[in-house]
A and B are shown apart, each in its own frame.
Chain A
Amino acid sequence: MTIPRTDEADPYGITYRQDSRSDSQADERLLSSAECERIEQSIQRYAGGEHIHVRITTWWQGELRWARNRVWLAGDRRDIQVAITGIGGTAFTNQADDVSLQAAVRAIGYVRTWEPDRIIPELTVGPPRFDTPSPIIWSDATYRVTAAERGKLAQRLTERADAEHLLSAGYLQLRAGEVYVSASSVSDARYDRYTEAQCSMTVRHPEGTGSGWAGQSGFDWSVIDSGLLATHALERCTASLNPVRIEPGRYTAILEPQAVCDMMNALMIGRNFSRIIHERFSQGPFLLGNDKVFGIMRTKLGLQVADARISIWHDPADPELGVLPEAGLEPITWIDRGVLTAMNHGPESGNMEGYRTMYALPDLNDNETELWRPAFRMSGGRTTLDEMIATTTRGLLVTRFSNLDLLDRDSVLLTGTTRDGLWLIEQGKISKAVNNFRITESPLFILNQIEQLGVPVPVFRPGRSPYDGSLTPAIVPPLKINDFSFTATVDAI
């Protein structure tokens, strides 16, 4: 795998680390590999040689939510989920006793027997791989944070807002989990552990005249600087007070990394990179058109779809992008110097050059192409935010977006609003806080309207449900975009 480079001097700075996981991880919060194997053995025994996939995950989560400068709810939760996928469906249970497991296996077998020739294949869960090292996504620092430590931290964070007569609301979550997956027998199984930490906070003026936000997520709690987050949220709140109303229109926009990630999240989902969806439904951002000679739909593989400075890839060996093997086993580059270089297909299609098999997690609602959300790194440059501002005659600095919804699947046109800090830049300086805007814009547009790129940094991108496994981090740069479309003013602050 060649790490794609931009024309600018090495913006990546990747340093590969040694696996720092502790040998003494096992404790009562998570199932051990041996315990998972025993469960798996029971399942395989009940399955009687039937071809099934088994996924066993246990998780623990320490949580703390605060609002109005006081802790609101502190919690400790843990659970197990066993997912047994066979031909025709998946059975999930959070009970690992023999009776429950037997019932689940029977359920899957029963589904198969009704009308075997009509079953929609559900075996999309990736077979475990043994030739890839375990990812570095475990942190003792995350696992060992106690409830008392979380409480003290929240007090420190809220005291600062209290002192400035502002209101802080936030959320702190520490998660640990294990995922055991097997294809057909215990000997074909792998077991991985992960941790996840996230901290985010919103500081608002009591009169609702200003709002600032900051957040960070990753597998290692020790690299999350909650004090710095509090500082940023406070500063942004203060700087955003009493916004001035300006007119909507096209502005040069400096998107902070979080805002870039918010837009990119809408692009980096399964259906946008799914060859099958593009071809079957004649729909998708990377659909080229109908090839009448061969009678097939063509995709844009190999064509320029973004600025040549843009590459988007994932390397499981990248220490900042560690994910569970089920979320990405092999290095992949989706966009290389602006050229679309990879798309996904279902496992039933076999290996095809330029396409990468997408293995979806078992999902109760079969929404695999919507839920697939990979970790990714996006190339950047060396321009600092200050330099971007200094070189802007008139533009807007965007902290992040809120409630982005898809308006058009083919162009990935989105609508939503800016949130928690929007500033007008005039003559190279931030001149004032301005009202929020509704935006109507596409991530594909911004990838083709880049004026300047900053240094990529990890952004706030926490994992979803703890049953889904580890987080899928993203590392993106701030971008200076020409002609970003701000379509209407928004009253919300």
Chain B
Amino acid sequence: MYSRRTFLATGVTTLAGVAGGRRLSATQSNAFLNVRSEPSVQIADDRVREMAMQALDAARRHGAVYSDVRLSYTRDRNYRTSLVGYSVNQKESLTVGIRSLVNGYWGFAAGGVWSAAEMERLAAESVQQAQVNALGKPRPMELAPVAPTPGGHWTMPIHQDPFDVHPIEVLDFLRSLILYTARSGGSVSEVRSLFHLHELALATSEGHYSTQRLYRSSGELKITKNLAGYSYISRPLPTLTPAGMGWELFRNPAIYQDIESCIEVLSRDIVMPVRPVDVGRYPIVLDAAGVASLASATIGAATEIDRVLGYEANATGTSYLRSPAEMLGTFQIGSPALNVVANRNESRGAATVQWDAEGVAPREYDLVRNGRLTDFLTMREGAGWLKETYGQHNMPCRSNGCAHTPVAMEAPLVHTPNLVITPAASPASEDDLFASMGDGVAFTAPKFNMDFQQSGGLAYGAAYRIKKGLPVERIGNSGILFRTLEIWKGVTALGGTASSRRFGMSVVKGEPEQTGYHSVTAVPVLIAEATVVNVKQKA
């Protein structure tokens, strides 16, 4: 029952075809590695739709008042290469998940077989999972309305499908980056590239049916600069964070410029004196990468409605935002200069989709406007929880399209969408912020360790003492110990549009755990004052 053979046996007869089955042709030389000769699953095939409808029909017959079914096909190809060796790992997976609602209780069933019989079994199982809990206490629930799309297909616009590129070309190019770095004065021991394809069909009992072909690419390239063979410093290339892109994430002339910029910074840093941190309060400039991570942790995760209302309490935690009714529209998260927009439709965004995992076509909306909390990250159920609150603020009760499932094997959860921090109207660069600050401390791409309510944390990483607007020395082992509201309220200036950069990041949540990806487009910021600590200093 676990193989595609089952699908071949049942699918052929019941669906008059093989939607997901491979047909081996004489020309097919390599199924995993040469997609041109590999008939992969055609997600937009009508027979996939028939199968989804069969699942919905079965769920309805078994008693679901609402159900949705996801069928997903994923491929991964991960390269790891150095000048002396390489390895390539590959993965494919075909999964289906059915979620059913009975008296306010959700049931979910998922597996790895696409067949008519399995649709029937999973539908019955998902309904039964809901029914056994529905016998208990009532659980009122209202799904926010959504206008269903009766049929649609969307392919994420990318320049080049990474699975179309011959692996030898990929390896050669990755090695060329190692050589280019060496010629430019740096060194790289290893480069990794990770490519992910997700084809997803979604059908709901409310009449939605859509299919999507989504891509995500990322990589790891850590550049090291040595000084006389004794000391070295290194930093990862920031442009290779996860993005809704294809092979062009790597095969892009800008990558050479990024490598050179990175080496330039390392060359400057390695001869810069290193001083121990003087613990105290300082003006801070946080670079765009740091602001992106800060926003992801303290605004993205914290506004996820399931965290806010305690649904994540036993997993990753809750939120410093505790009362949506009291906080929506009034709660001051940051300085009036802070504006954060959420979306899932920006080009190249790691969370970009045409429809979310519940069929909601995401739109752009303000999450923080003039420093005030203006919305929460929701899926349909979560928006329903906010119906009254939305009504009090004359806002429509609708999902913000944050439902996401990494694969159909997992049930949808609220995940952080793409976030964009609105740049300042002025064309301020990071250097301009240094000049505005005069004397202070600058942090570059710090890591964040947050508490379980995102109410505060520790940011640590490369830091510089800024004197008269210029970096004059590196500060060892330094970090920012902060409260979320204090640090955002301390923002006095933001970089302009030219300083805006996008970074991809991943967040793990839920039980069982699932990983979501999103992008954050951010600018560097100047913070009036923050506590700088020695992160390795014990009490």
Q: Which residues of A contact B (CB under 8 A)?
A: 28, 31, 58, 61, 63-65, 67-80, 88-100, 102-104, 106-107, 110-111, 114-115, 118-120, 122, 147-148, 150-152, 154-155, 167, 169-171, 173, 200-202, 204, 208, 211, 213, 248-250, 362-366, 402-403, 405, 407-408, 413, 415-417, 419, 436, 438, 440-441, 485-488, 490-493
B451 touches A79 (CB 8 A): no
Is the Cβ of B92 less than 8 Å from the Cβ of A147?
no
The answer to whether A67 and B22 touch (CB under 8 A), given A114-B167, A366-B78, A486-B539, is no
Determine if B179 is an interface residue (Cβ-Cβ < 8 Å): no
* Contact present for B536 and A408 (CB under 8 Å): yes
Given contacts A92-B91, A114-B167, 18 further A-B contacts (CB under 8 A): A67-B314, A71-B139, A74-B133, A75-B126, A76-B126, A77-B97, A92-B89, A110-B32, A118-B86, A365-B78, A403-B449, A403-B451, A407-B460, A407-B536, A415-B535, A419-B452, A491-B453, A493-B453
**Chain A nearest CB: distance from B31 CB in Å?**
3
| Contact A74 to B107, CB < 8 A, known contacts A67-B310, A154-B133 | yes
Interface contact B310-A94, CB-CB below 8 Å? no
Report whether B32 and A104 are in contact in the complex, using a CB–CB cutoff of 8 Å.
yes
Closest to B34 in A: A110
B residues in contact with A88, CB < 8 Å: 86-88
- Docked Cα-Cα span, A484 to B4, in Å, equals 56
The residue that B451 contacts in the complex, of A80, A407, A436, with Cβ under 8 A, is A436
Q: Is the pair B111, A106 in contact by a Cβ cutoff of 8 Å?
A: no
Report B497 CB to chain A, min CB distance, Å: 33
20 sampled A-B residue pairs with Cβ under 8 A: A31-B2, A76-B110, A78-B111, A79-B2, A80-B3, A88-B87, A95-B3, A103-B22, A107-B31, A147-B129, A169-B311, A169-B313, A170-B314, A204-B318, A364-B89, A365-B78, A366-B78, A403-B451, A440-B539, A491-B453
Which residues on B sit within 8 Å (CB–CB) of A150?
132
* Residue interface mask B138-174, A partner, CB < 8 A = 1: 0100000000000000000000000000011001000
Q: How far is the CB of A248 from chain B (nearest CB, A)?
A: 5
Query: In the complex, A104 Cα to B87 Cα: how many Å?
Result: 15
- With a cutoff of 8 Å between Cβ atoms, the chain B residues found around residue A419 in the complex are 317, 452
Closest B residue, CB atoms, query A69: B137
A106 to B31 CA separation, bound complex (whole angstroms)? 7
- Which residue in chain B gives the minimum CB-CB distance to A171? B511
Q: Report Cα–Cα, A149/B364, bound state, in Å.
A: 43
Given known A-B contacts A103-B31, A119-B85, A171-B511, A94 and B94 have beta carbons under 8 A apart: yes
CB distance from B500 to the nearest CB of A (A): 28
Contacts A75-B411, A103-B22, A120-B87; is A440 near B537 (CB within 8 Å)? yes
In the A-B complex, list the 3 residue pairs whose CB atoms are closest, starting with the nearest.
A103-B31, A107-B32, A97-B4
The answer to whether A492 and B455 have CB atoms under 8 Å apart is yes
CB-based contact B313/A111 at 8 Å: no
Inter-subunit contact A213/B314 (CB<8 Å): yes
Docked CA distance A31–B6 (Å): 14
Contacts of B451 in A (CB 8 A): 402-403, 417, 436, 438, 490-492
A74 touches B132 (CB 8 A): yes
Within 8 Å of chain A (Cβ to Cβ): is B130? yes
Determine which residue in A64, A76, A92 has the highest number of CB atoms from chain B within 10 A of its CB, and name it.
A76
Q: Name the B residues within 8 Å of A363 (CB-CB).
A: 89
Q: Are A89 and B111 in contact (CB under 8 A)?
A: no
Task: State which of A64, A77, A110 has its C-beta within 8 Å of the C-beta of B110.
Answer: A77
B8 within 8 A of A: yes
Q: How far is the CA of A90 from the CA of B87 in the complex (A)?
A: 9
Taking a contact as CB atoms under 8 Å apart, the answer to whether B85 and A96 are in contact is: no
Assess whether B310 is in contact with A167, with CB atoms less than 8 Å apart: yes
B residues with a Cβ closer than 8 A to A are: 1-5, 7-8, 21-24, 29-33, 38, 76, 78, 80, 82, 84-95, 97, 105-112, 125-126, 128-130, 132-133, 135-137, 139, 167-168, 171, 194, 306, 309-315, 317-318, 320, 322, 409, 411, 447, 449-453, 455-456, 458, 460, 481, 483, 511-512, 533, 535-539
Report the Cα distance A148→B132, complex, angstroms.
Answer: 5
Bound CA–CA A481/B21 (angstroms) = 60
Given contacts A75-B129, A201-B314, A440-B535, contact A107 B87 (CB under 8 A): no
A92 to B78, CA, bound (A): 12
Enumerate chain B residues within 8 angstroms of A211, measured Cβ to Cβ: 313
Question: Which residue among B5, B76, B312, B313 has the maximum number of chain A CB atoms within 10 Å of its CB?
Answer: B313
| Cβ-defined partner of B89 (8 Å) among A28, A94, A366, A436 | A366
The CA-CA distance from A403 to B508 in the complex, in Å, is 12
Residue contact A413 to B452, C-beta cutoff 8 Å: no
User: Count of A-B contacts with CB under 8 A?
Assistant: 288
Residues of A within 8 A of B80 (CB): 120, 366
Q: Are B313 and A441 in contact (CB under 8 A)?
A: no
| Cβ-defined contact, A403 with B450, below 8 A | yes
- Measured between alpha carbons, how far is A224 from B456 in the docked complex, in Å? 35
Complex formed: what's the CA distance from A416 to B4 in Å? 45
The smallest C-beta distance from B390 to any residue of chain A, in angstroms, reads: 19
Shortest distance in angstroms between B94's beta carbon and chain A's nearest beta carbon?
A: 6
Tell me the complex Cα distance, A200–B313, Å.
11
Q: Smallest distance from the beta carbon of A245 to chain B beta carbons, Å?
A: 14
Q: Assess the B5–A68 pair: CB atoms within 8 A.
A: no
B7 to chain A, nearest CB (A): 8
Which of A80, A103, A249 touches B2 (beta carbons < 8 Å)? A80
A415→B23 CA distance, assembly (Å): 53
Residues of B within 8 A of A120 (CB): 80, 82, 85-87
> Using Cβ atoms and an 8 Å threshold, which residues of chain A touch B29?
106, 110
Contacts of A106 in B (CB 8 A): 29-33
| A487 B107 Cβ-Cβ under 8 A | no
Measured in the bound complex, the distance between the Cα atoms of B12 and A475 in whole Å is 52
**In the complex, A487 Cα to B537 Cα: how many Å?**
8
Q: Once bound together, how far apart are the Cα atoms of A28 and B130, in whole Å?
A: 22
Q: CB distance A485 to B91 under 8 Å?
A: no
Cβ distance B388 to chain A, nearest Cβ, rounded Å:
16
Picked from A98, A102, A111, the residue with its CB within 8 Å of the CB of B167 is A111
CB-CB < 8 A to A91: which residues of B? 32, 89-91
- A28, B1: Cβ atoms closer than 8 Å: yes
Query: Are A204 and B313 closer than 8 Å at their CB atoms?
Result: yes
A58, A88, A99, A122: most-surrounded residue (chain B CB, <10 A): A99
A150 to B107, CA, bound (A): 13
Chain A residues near B137: list those with CB within 8 A: 69-70, 155
Partner of A249, one of B128, B409, B539: B539
- Kindly report which residue of chain A lies nearest to residue B82, judged by CB atoms: A120
Q: Are A151 and B511 within 8 A (Cβ)?
A: no
| Known contacts A77-B111, A93-B91, A169-B311: A114-B168 contact under CB 8 Å | yes
In the bound assembly, the distance between CA atoms of A91 and B88 in angstroms comes to 8
Contact A107 B85 (CB under 8 A): no
A74-B106 contact, Cβ under 8 Å, with A89-B89, A95-B112, A103-B31: yes
**Residue in chain B with minimal CB distance to A67:** B311
Which residues on B sit within 8 Å (CB–CB) of A93? 91-93
Q: Which residues of A contact B194 (CB under 8 A)?
A: 365
Q: Say whether A490 contacts B456, CB under 8 Å.
A: yes
Contact across chains for B112 and A79 when beta carbons are under 8 A apart: yes
- Is the CB–CB distance between A100 and B92 below 8 Å? yes
Instruction: Select one of B33, B310, B311 contacting A110, CB under 8 A.
Output: B33
CB–CB A208/B311 < 8 A = no
Minimum Cβ distance to chain A for residue B86 (Å): 6
B contact residues around A208 at 8 Å (CB): 318, 322
Q: Report the nearest B residue to A362, measured CB to CB.
A: B89
Closest residue of A by beta carbon distance from B315 = A171
Contact B511 A65 (CB under 8 A): yes
Shortest distance between the CB of B174 and any CB in chain A (Å):
12
A250 touches B538 (CB 8 A): yes
A47 to chain B, nearest CB (A): 14
Cα distance, A153 to B410, chains bound together (Å): 23
Contact (A95, B92) CB under 8 Å given A68-B309, A72-B311, A440-B539: yes
Q: A77 and B30: CB pair below 8 A?
A: no
Q: A92-B91, A111-B33 are in contact. Are A438 and B78 (CB under 8 A)?
A: no
With CB as the reference atom, state the residue of chain B lying closest to A95: B4
A491 touches B317 (CB 8 A): no
